[in-house]
Structure 1
C-alpha cells in the first residue's frame, strides 16, 4: 500500500481534508498529516474538523512518500511561503509521484514554480493566477495531467478521490 502526505495548516476547507483522508485510510493506505510544527492542532475553516500535525515538514523526506494531497481553504496560503514545503513538493514532483491539489491547493504548486506547461483546475477565482503561473486552466470537476490531480471545490470531491485512489 502507499504512504500519502497530507500538507495541512490552519484554515483548511474541512471536507477537502476529511473526505480524501478518510478514503485513503479506508482503502488501506497510510497517511501522515504534515504541518509546519509537529503536534500543532490545525482547525478547519468551517470549524467542523480538527487534526494534529503528526510530523513537521522540516523532519520529513519526500522520498518516504508515494503521493501528496494538498487540501484547499486558507491552508495552502498559510504553507506556500515555507521553503521546506516548497522543497518537499518540488522533490515529489521531480520523482513523478502523484500530487493531488483541490481548491486553493495549487497555490503551493504556483509558489514552487511547478505549473509551467501544465493543465490544471482550481478554485475558479484562481484562474488568472493559474494562467499567470504558466498553466492552462480547465473549469472541470477533476483534471489529471501527468502526476497532477486537481479539482475545484468540495462538490468535486468524489471525482478527486476517485482519481487519487486510482493512482495509489
Structure 2
C-alpha cells in the first residue's frame, strides 16, 4: 500500500512548533505531507511565531523560523489527499476568511477523512461549521468559538489530546506526543478500513 498523502494548510505567523514538529514527525512516520499556504507557491516560505508560557496571563509571542512550503495551494486537489493537518498560531485568524480553505476543510470532514487540528486551528474548524455535536480541544481562548460552533469544548490538560471519530484535536504544542499518536492511530485505522 502506498503512503498516505496528507495536506497541511498553514500561513504566515503559524505557530513554529505546531507546524515544523508535525510536518517532520509525519514525514518520519512514512507519510507524504504537502504543506501549502493560500497565495503562496512551493519553495516560498511562511513566517512562524513561537508562543510560550512564561507565567503571564496569556502566552508570549516571538518571531520564529521561516518554514518552506513544498506544494502550491492553488494546485491542490483535496480529493487526492487522505488527511488534513491544521496547525495553530496566528495564521488561522486569517486563513478562516479564505473560501477555498473553508471548502477544503469541509471536504475532509464531510468525507470522514482524518483531520488533526491544534491550538487556534479550531478557529478554522469553527468557521467551516464542521464541528457541531463534536468534542473538540483547542487553546482555551478559542473555547467560545468552539462552543458557538455547536461543539463540546474538551477542557483537558495542555499536554492532552482528544479523538472524536475522524477528528483529533489538542490545546497547544505541549500535546504533540498525545496529538500525533492519536492522529497516527486514526490514520492507521483509516488505512485498515480502506484495505478491507
TM-score normalised by length of structure 1 = 0.95
Number of aligned positions between the proteins: 168
Q: Find the counterpart in structure 1 of residue 7 from structure 2.
A: 5
Does structure 2 conserve the Cα–Cα contact (< 8 Å) formed by 1:76 and 1:105? Answer: yes
Aligned equivalent of 1:72, options 75, 88, 93: 88
Task: For residues 35-86 of structure 1, give each alpha carbon's deviation from its aligned partner in whole angstroms, at most 9, with x where no partner exists.
Answer: 1121431011133332223333332111111111100000111211111111
Q: Residues of 1 paired with 2:186 and 2:21: CA distance?
A: 17
Cα shift readout 1:1-58 (whole Å, capped 9, x = no counterpart): 2111111101111111111111100011100011112143101113333222333333
SS at 1:44's partner residue? strand
Q: Is the 8 A contact 2:20 2:67 kept in 1?
A: no
CA RMSD across the alignment: 1.2
The residue aligned with 1:30 is 32
What's the TM-score once normalised by structure 2's chain length?
Answer: 0.82
Give the 4+ runs in structure 1 shifted more than 3 A: none
Bigger CA radius of gyration: 2
Gaps of 5+ in 1: none
Structure 1 distance, partners of 2:49, 2:74, is 24
- 2-structure distance, mates of 1:122, 1:6: 17
State the partner residue of 1:43: 47
Distance across 2 between alignment mates of 1:115 and 1:94 = 11
Greater relative CO, 1 or 2 (CA 8 Å, sep 6+)? 1
Unaligned stretches of 5+ in structure 2?
A: 51-62, 188-196
Partner of 1:106: 122
Mapping 1:122-133, distance limit 5 Å? 122-133=138-149
